[in-house]
Structures are given as C-alpha cells and as structure tokens.
Structure 1
Amino acid sequence: MLAATSTPSYSEDIKSIAILTPEQGTDFGWNQQGVDGAKAAGEATGVEVVTAENLGYGDVRATLRELAEEGHGLLIAHASGYNTAAPEIGSEAAVKVAIVDSPSALKEGAVADYTASGHAGAYLAGRLAAKMSRLDTVGIVVSGEPPSWNSQSAAFAEGVKAENPETVIRYAVIGPAAYADAAGGKRVTESLIAAGADIIFGQGNGSSFGMLQAVETTKATDGGKVYFIDVIGDKTSIDKGYLLSSVLWNLTPVYTAMIEDIKADKFGTRNYDINLADGSVSLLKTEHVPDDIWAQVMDLRQEIIDGKIVVEPKFDADSVHALVTQLD
C-alpha cells in the first residue's frame, strides 16, 4: 500500500501508458504480474493503462508504432526480446519506453530498464528447499537463461548450499527461449526427477505449467512426492497439492515509480528493481511448509533485510553453471 503524501508539483502530464506482453496476462507469472502491476500502478497514479497481450517473442515494431501513435506517455516492453525494438521505436516516435534485461540502455528522458531480480527471494527458496528435501537433491528447470532467471538460479543454488553443502543441485535448460514450451517443461522436469530431485525450482512463464504437471504425475526416486517451487506468481488456485512455494514478484511499485518519475521529469535517470524490504519480492507459504521451518526462513529473510546476509545478484549464465550440476 502506498503511503499518503502531499501532492508534489509535477512538470509533465501523463494520461496513459501501454504495456506489451509476449503471452496472455493470465499465466500466473511474468505476463500476468506485468499486466496486473501496470493496472494497479495506473489506478494508484490516476493514469489509464492499455494492454497489448499475446504478441509473441518476435518483431513487435508495428504494435509499438501503433501504440505510440495513440499518444501513450510510456510504452512498457515486457519481454527481453523487445529491448532492441522498443528504444528504436521510442526514439522514432519520441515516446518514453521501459525495457528489461538491458540496464546499460538507460537514456535520460527516453529509456529506463527494469531488470527485476528476485534473487533474495530465490535464496530463501533455496534454504527452504534444502531444509525440506528428503533425498538431498533438488532441481532447477529454466525456460532460457535471461539475466533475471540467472540471478534467481544462482541465488537459489547459493541458498541450498548455505543450508546444506551436501545437497546436490541438478540444472537443466529447456531451450534458449522456451518460455511458452509447456511440453518441454514437462519433459525436462521429468528428467531431473529421474536424476534424483524431489524438489523442483522452476522458472518458465507458460512452460511452468508443464513443470507443474510433471511434478504432479511423477514420483521421486524414493517413491514419494515431488514438490514445486514457482516464481513470480501464485498458482495456489490451480495447485493439486504439489506447490511448495513461489518467489513472488510485485511490479506495481516499479511501474508506479516510472509514472511518478515521468511526471517529475526524471524518467531515464535511473533503472528500477524489486526487493524484500518493500515487499515487492516475497516468498509464498503453502500448507506443505511446516510452521517451524517457515519461521526459520522468515528469520533468514530479516537477516537479509538487515544486511547480515548479503545475496549479490549474478546475472550471467556462467555463474549459474559454476554452482550446479548440469543435466544434458
């Protein structure tokens, strides 16, 4: 909830923004959090929000131009595959754009990046996984290796090892950009379960539904249940008893800050992130997590906020590979 403040003196008016997403904003994950966050930010700031969903991962220049011509004050390009086209069309149409996975593209009055990283939450998820794994083997399944996925994978692995250095971490990539590949998510997750994992940390947009299906239908090597730790959204409404937790993201503060920066003529002077302290990153508790273990994880959360535990984001794939055992 935003605290009540006195109304600042703004130098620029903004009446509407638009967000572009590669998949439908109903995926309980990246796309839904983007759409929901933008709408909530618009409501908080009195700005209209237009959504352009299910655009795929290809060339979106035509849609960007169309939205620019409609006069929106900000175009949020909510996919790493858009971070070349969006600044290009933004410059062409003189409209501000927000992109992901490209922090060096910051340009005052024109471009800002929100390479959101839930790495601190992923570290906590790793501690939780190591505490609850029966087989001392956990798996990480990713739909690609973009910076935000890498930072969470690395932090999860670090959390696992901090909790139990003997825990084995299996790692597999569905494909270079297999974000919507549910069948691939199921296949790869099954392979990690066969390799001994009884908890899966999955990052995948639409492909995460395949990961969850694999967990629901595949027994661990000891014949017991496999649990799933999701990212970004909350799938409890569709869970069949296998969702252990999720590293939740709330992008509302990010988009709210963008709108306020535009109004204050400060857009493009900084990039944006999410964190534990303001609640834009949190860890989901389900009924499968015992209260005593949850209390331990929440104590660790406070230690991160207080600076007693430092979790540095590692955005490159090589850092992830150095921490895990890759499954071909």
Structure 2
Amino acid sequence: MKFLTQDKLTIVGAAGMIGSNMAQTALMMGLTPNLCLYDPYAPALEGVAEELFHCAFEGVNITYTSDIAEALGGASYVVSSGGAARKAGMTREDLLKGNAQIAAQFGRDLKSYCPDVRHVVVVFNPADITGLIALIYSGIRPQQLSTLAALDSTRLRSELARYLRIRPDEIADARTYGGHGEQMAVFASTARVHGEPLSELIGREIPEGDWEQIKLRVIQGGKRIIELRGRSSFQSPAYLSVRMIAAAMGGEPFCYPAGVYVDNGEFDHILMAMETVIDSQGVHCKMPHGTPEELKTLCESYRHLCKLRDEVIDMGLLPPVKEWDKLNPHLK
C-alpha cells in the first residue's frame, strides 16, 4: 500500500467508538504505516489493537499504549476524541468543566511531548471550547490546530438531499458556521442545487416553513442519531476527522468548514467554524459571505461561544484573554 506519509499519527481516545473507527479509517485510507493508539483505559485499548491486528493490514506498524508520553513522543499528527460523554444527571456546566480540564491537560501534553507536531484535530465536545483550550496550553501556531465542525454542514447537505429526493453530491457548498448545536448559523446563500442557488429555491420549491424544519433537523442531527441508534454519532465524526488530518498530511485538501482560531477585529479570541481549507500548510480561513440575516445569526453564535469561553475563564481553567500569550506566544 502507498501511504501519504511515514510520519507518526497518534489517536487519543482510541478505545472509544469514534477513536477506534478513526484508527481503522486511517489505515484503510493509507494515511501512514506508523499509527499509535492511546487511551487511559488499557483493557479496551488492547481490544481495539487486537481487532486491528486481526484485520491483517499489510506493511503497518500499529502500537498502543496508556502512557501519554510514549503516545505523543515523536508524533507529527494527532487526532483527539479523548473527552468524556455527557452522562445521566450531568449538567452542561459539568460537561464543560470536565472536558475543559481534559483539554487543558491535552494541550500541556502536546507542549511537553510533541512540541514539533504539525497538525492537531480536536473532536470532543464542546469542540469550539476544548480546541481553544488545547491551543492555548499547547503553544502551537493557530494554523496547526483545527476542530471538527464539518459534520453540521454534511448534515445540512444530507437533509436537503432527502427533502429534494436527489443525491447528496448534487448539492454543493452546504454550510453552517459559528458554534455547534442550537447556536449554529445555518446558511442558505452559499449552497447550490444542480448549480442553482438554494436561496432561490426557498419560497419556490421549498416552502419557508419546510426550510425552517430542515434547519431544525440539522441542529438536532446528533439527537436524531441517538434516537435511532441508542448512542451518539461515531462513524461520521471519525471519517471526517481522518479526512481533515489526511489533508494536513498532504492529501486532498479538506474544504468543509472547520473550527479555527479567529482574531480578526470582528470575531476575536475565539475558535469557531469558518469557511476553511486544510492542506499541508495547516488550516486557513476566510470570513463567510451571507445575507444580513445570516450574518446576524453568525454574530449571535459568536457571542454564545464568547459566553462559554468566559465561563471557562471564570472557572479558573483559562487565564484572562490578555494573558494568553504567556502560555502561547502565537496568540498576541
């Protein structure tokens, strides 16, 4: 098999459903023969490794460890799904605080054990905040870290295709920006159906009320998967995040929105889904174009993310914004 690179790829949280699917997908896509799996839960991690050995991939060096220093040492690329899932009785604040602590330690570990890492993809929720925290504590350049945000856009594409009874690939540039969940900004102006702007179809072939229902299904896409399968998504986030890291390795550029650090005078000191491209030079973003109403929704999403960021600062898990450059000199 021909590989994109010989460099080490480490998957953090590899014992989980997302992480284990990432590992298999990375091997099937031929990203690198040097794959390291990390998870603190050693028995399940060994089980994942055994399954991959039983797949009989040719020419690969699969290693696994519950020692984070060993896992990250020498890694050029890292994907982390290593957060905790929300459990019964937990509040949103509980989840935010717990995963913020995990993200802070992850960032410190990146700085300690692989300061020369080329690209990091953060998957665990709330990814806009956990990615920001990891970036601050890692000390790496903002272009070297991205978070999974494309899943919201691919859900929009899927819902439109279902409604119009066409193939998803007949829809181009379906986009959501900003945060994830209830606060995401769903854009109609970017998308095209058979080359025709989606915004021209709304009110003509798609009644306004139906468009509102489509947006609602996109926002609640993760909830729907839980209802159907009895567990949260794992196949789609695993595949999309592996495509992101493949692009950073020099593969086909990844052109769906990704979470990226933004500090441009309009959106400041935040990590949010933007119009991005990931390639071998890292993640690059530009401001989305949209209608005044869409841009208003994006600003509302930004303010929501700022509120979450400030909650983490109030918890003492991040220093005030003006002190971020003491941890990461690239964030001036």
Same fold by TM-score greater than 0.5: no
Please report the TM-score for the alignment, with normalisation by the length of structure 1: 0.39
Query: Counting helix residues as a fraction of each chain, which structure ranks higher?
Result: 2
* Structure of higher RCO (CA pairs closer than 8 Å, 6+ residues apart): 1
